[in-house]
A and B are shown apart, each in its own frame.
Chain A
């Protein structure tokens, strides 16, 4: 596809369960970002990949959150032992080179923990 694709678009899960959120970046984009957006707030940085490696994971709130990008394209954000406070829209973005280049966002995954 032409844009950043995220699946699923919506996910409802029970407290304590494990979830995986997928991001398909724009083909050829080496940089990939995960953000979390709560209602009425700006996107909050979680993790940044340059190629296959996590160049900056300082935004991950705790060790329940983990992300991978094994082949430098698709990325998966994994959340263990979900809590109600994890409910938010999780946005993925990609950019051609990273620093100072336009970041294109996906539609997001709305995660609801009940």
Chain B
């Protein structure tokens, strides 16, 4: 089955800095890669996703890049703000199997 590795497990940055979280996946058939943000005690919420037919996607301060050859994808947050502090999860799925496999998460702390 699919295996998703996520790094780093924790990331501390100063407000205004950029943050990058990286994930690798094992199943070359995976074609959908969402990123979820989970604040303490709350449900995971989708912040951005990318499909295998594109290499990059941006939404304001958030961007995701995908390298299918290397089987890795990354989340980039620019101009970080304290409210970006949360745990971020990457995930991968194969549309033929429909389940999402998650990474272990990255705790992002943005200090004012």
Closest B residue to A42 by CB, please name it.
B102
A100 touches B104 (CB 8 A): no
How many residues of B are in contact with the other chain, CB < 8 A?
Answer: 29
B105 touches A48 (CB 8 A): no
CB-contacts of B82-112 with A (<8 A): 89, 91, 93-105
B99 touches A56 (CB 8 A): yes
B43 touches A106 (CB 8 A): yes
B99 touches A33 (CB 8 A): yes
Q: Number of residue pairs across A and B with beta carbons under 8 Å?
A: 65
B32 touches A99 (CB 8 A): yes
The interface size bin for chain A is 20 to 34
A41 and B44 in contact (CB under 8 A), knowing A48-B99, A100-B93? no
What 9 A-B pairs are tightest by C-beta distance, nearest first? A42-B102, A99-B95, A100-B32, A99-B98, A105-B43, A100-B95, A98-B98, A42-B104, A105-B44
